[in-house]
Amino acid sequence: DAKTTQPPSMDCAEGRAANLPCNHSTISGNEYVYWYRQIHSQGPQYIIHGLKNNETNEMASLIITEDRKSSTLILPHATLRDTAVYYCIVRVAGGNQGGKLIFGQGTELSVKP
């Protein structure tokens, strides 16, 4: 699976949009971009994933560049409860169930009042 690069930490003001970048310049054509987050002392929580089109759900939006070498996770109105470590992971999905998920260092997002 392709490697990802994320900034180690970011701050965001409560109520503002949090934009978390991720570089995955070696991504393959059949690899998806997944985002998970981990709140302190809990298991990771799925946020969103996408292949090449932008995606939106109730939690966040995922913007993937046209060349797919980078992406941005957007939390439109960050709250204090969004303070967590956010992990961007690329891997094959769909018919390849069971493949292992490898975590990088992630971005520690601190939402401040």
Partner 1 sequence: GAVVSQHPSRVICKSGTSVKIECRSLDFQATTMFWYRQFPKQSLMLMATSNEGSKATYEQGVEKDKFLINHASLTLSTLTVTSAHPEDSSFYICSASLLMGGYTFGSGTRLTVV
Q: Choose which of 16, 79, 103, 112 interacts with partner 1 (CB under 8 A).
A: 103
Q: Using alpha carbons, select from 88, 57, 84 the residue that is nearest to residue 72.
A: 88
Nearer to partner 1, 14 or 93 (CB): 93
Q: Choose which of 41, 67, 81, 113 interacts with partner 1 (CB under 8 A).
A: 41
What is the spatial distance between Cα 4 and Cα 110, in angstroms, rounded to a whole number? 21
**Which residue type does 16 have?**
R
Nearer to partner 1, 36 or 70 (CB): 36
What is the spatial distance between Cα 57 and Cα 113, in angstroms, rounded to a whole number? 25
Nearer to partner 1, 74 or 92 (CB): 92
Contact indicator for 87, 7 with CB cutoff of 8 Å: no
Q: Choose which of 27, 87, 107, 109 interacts with partner 1 (CB under 8 A).
A: 87
Both tokens assigned to 90: 């690329």
Residue 7 sits in the site that holds partner 1 (CB under 8 A): no
Residue 13 sits in the site that holds partner 1 (CB under 8 A): no
